[in-house]
Amino acid sequence: AFCILASVIGEKRPGSCSQLFCYLDGIGDAYRTFGNAWRPTLPCAGTASGVAVPAGQKKGLCWTYNEGQCKWGTSCRFRHECSGCGGNPGASRCFKKGKLNAVGGTAGVAATSAATGGVPSEEDAAFLWRGFREGFVIPFTVKEPGAVCANLKSVRERPEVVREKLAKEVLLGRMAGPFPYPPLAELRISPLGVVPKKEAGKFRLIHHLSYPKGSSVNDDIDAALCSVSYTSFDRAVELVRRAGRGALMAKVDVEAAFRLLPIHPSCHHLLGCCFEGGFFVDLCLPMGCSISCAYFEKFSTFLEWVVRRESAGGTVVHYLDDFLCVGPRDDEPYLFPPF
């Protein structure tokens, strides 16, 4: 029937042939993607129920885009919009459909659980195990959600940096968005900022959770829970002194340290931000959260213990996300396997 229709239209309007074949290809894609799901494997009963569009399906949206399979890109005649939340990740990664409610983070839960035997602090081991499985909870006191806060001046001065950083975080699954409207009830929108790093031309994206003063996310977190005791410089000096002349030293830095710790879904509404009209939700521990250092210090203390155990008593000390390994020259063969 379609071929007959196409031949008639093509005879009268030859310029429309390309559009017809594009339409036919779209029908084929829809059938291959959704045919088995929409068409019950039952004998034909003379009704249209077997081919009806499911309730709630928005008109004008690209079906294959929502399954992450559209090949037309920006030239597609249908809207590339999520059928669930209206955002542009597609339904296969929709925030509201629960695809992003799973715990993010890139640290291995299996490795964490396998190494928890005999840890110095059973309480901290249980805390880490639960956090990497379910997400780390931000201990906030419930208050009214703050107003939407404008981003810092540094964001307006370097929008290309923010755009690149946000795209990377979304790609890595550490942020959700952009959404055309807030995807969560009572989502708090805190400012974004850009801070230069030591390296020329390098920048760090910060989530300013201490603004506005008096009603910020950090104001809702008990300051006593954020207290951290770091390793002293004197301890590092003592390790080098004990290693003696010709000691070997190595410094290791954990990349994107805080971002390794996923946030519990019940706290996602605390970590909203906005950029160029789109709303984003942070899914991992942000640098601007007052509890971040305390949480990561527990994890880095655990990592130090793992290195010591795997290297048969290797000398290592850490300062938050920086690790210093020290040992006599003869210890070199024993230090390679753990790393």
As for how many domains the chain has, the answer is 2
Q: Find tokens 């939407």 and name the residue.
A: 148
Interhelix angle 122-134/292-310, nearest 10 degrees: 110
Domain of 253 in residue numbering reads as 109-335
One domain, residues 131 and 82: no
pLDDT of residue 144: 62
Q: What gap in Å lies between CA 104 and CA 88, rounded to an integer?
A: 20
Q: Does residue 45 sit within a domain? A: no
Q: Specify if 200 maps to a domain.
A: yes
The confidence score (pLDDT) of residue 310 equals 77
| pLDDT digits (tens), the chain, 339 positions | 667 777 777 777 777 777 777 777 777 766 665 555 445 444 444 444 444 444 445 667 887 777 766 777 777 888 877 776 665 555 445 555 544 444 555 455 545 554 556 677 888 888 998 999 899 999 988 666 666 788 999 999 999 999 999 999 999 999 999 999 898 888 999 999 999 988 888 999 999 999 888 888 999 899 999 998 888 889 888 888 888 888 888 888 888 888 999 999 999 999 999 999 999 999 999 988 999 999 999 999 988 888 888 776 668 888 888 888 888 877 665 555 555
Task: Please report whether residue 44 resides in a domain.
Answer: no
Q: Note whether residue 292 is domain-resident.
A: yes
Q: Are 83 and 91 in contact (CB under 8 A)?
A: yes
Pair (89, 136) in one structural domain: no
- Whether 145 and 284 share a structural domain: yes
> Would you say 183 and 176 are in contact if contact means Cβ atoms under 8 Å apart?
yes
Residues 289 and 325 in one domain: yes
Please check whether residue 48 lies inside any domain of the structure.
Answer: no
